[in-house]
Amino acid sequence: MNMSANHIPSAPLAPDIDAGVEEMLSGQVAAAQAAAKLAPQIAEAISAAVPRLKRGGRIILVGAGTSGRIAVQDGVELAPTYGWPMDRLTFLLAGGRKALVESSEAAEDDAALAIQEISDCAVTPDDVVIGVAASGRTPYTCAAIEHARKKGALAIGLANQADTPLLDLADIVLCAETGPEFISGSTRMKAGTAQKIVLNTLSTGIMIGLGRTHNGLMTHMSVSNDKLRRRAVDIISSIAGTSAENSEGALEEAENDLPVAILIAAGHDREEASRLLGEAEYSVARALSLSSRHSEVISNGA
């Protein structure tokens, strides 16, 4: 009897594969639990980073191998999601951009290269440098964090093992201990999962602290396609309390600058919206508050 490929019955998994899958998934849950234990330290890192970034500092992400690629993955989302300027986001990945898709293991040991790259970045005390290394011992990452801290930058170290050089060198320590991997040495498993959770929470918390959200909405999102335009219209309508038609008009008038569009929809002309956002460090929530207080002053004066 002929049978199409879509109807070929699959063979049952061997018992050791069943058990292995269960153990791997259990490890992912344990990784999340390890990350959750760091809530106070992550909050401390956010509180320390936000004032520096408000003064114009940069976010500089440093790593090698899997850890470096995870750091880059988290960082690249900041521009489209929160409108974070790309000129204030720097990636120092051992082996360079090529290492994103090809292994560059030898570069992990190049401490001199890391020091040179930190120097080339002209790191300042307003910068926030986040170094990620599962082992906590990667020479490239450790050297970068040490040199950045000497330059006065806020140095945050994220590792998956305690009592390691990276954590000794950092101002703020984020140690998500995940223990041995299901496949020994494969830090793309539990260690990588914990790193992604910590970085995601840290970067999101920083963006919230910088006023790039309002009531759980992405007020600085990049409006770069039809789907995101529809989302932007919904965001404007929700915050400004106006119709979709008015929101679309505001977005068009603002030339897809979402924060400006929100203020326009709330009743300001484009020039006034830009002025309020400038006074509010480009925070929509603060700009709306300034607008409200301004209206109260006029009303009371009248």
Helices and strands: H and E segment counts in the chain: 13, 5
103, amino acid identity: S
Q: Which residues are catalytic?
A: 77, 108
Which CATH superfamily does the domain covering 20-209 fall into? Glucose-6-phosphate isomerase like protein; domain 1 (3.40.50.10490)
230 φ, ψ (degrees, to nearest 5) = -60, -40
Q: Which pTM was predicted?
A: 0.88
The count of other CB atoms within 10 Å of the CB of residue 105 is 11
Domain covering 226-301 in this structure, CATH number: 1.10.8.1080
Please tell me the distance from the alpha carbon of residue 161 to that of residue 135, in angstroms, as a whole number.
6
What is the residue-level pLDDT of the chain in tens, covering all 302 positions? 444 445 555 555 566 888 889 999 999 999 999 999 999 999 999 999 999 999 999 999 999 999 999 999 999 999 999 999 999 999 999 998 888 888 777 789 999 999 999 999 999 999 999 999 999 999 999 999 999 999 999 999 999 999 999 999 999 999 999 988 888 877 888 999 999 999 999 999 999 999 999 999 999 999 999 999 999 999 999 999 999 999 999 999 999 999 999 999 999 999 999 999 999 999 999 999 998 755 543 344 44
Q: Residue written as tokens 């994220």?
A: 158
CA 234 to each of CA 100, 222, 254, 269: distance values in angstroms, whole numbers, following the listed order: 35, 14, 16, 20
Name which of 225, 247, 245 is nearest 237 in CA terms. Answer: 247
| Crossing angle of the two packed helices 190-209 and 39-54, in degrees rounded to 10 | 40
The ranges assigned to domains in the chain are 20-209, 226-301
For residue 280, give both structure tokens: 């509010």
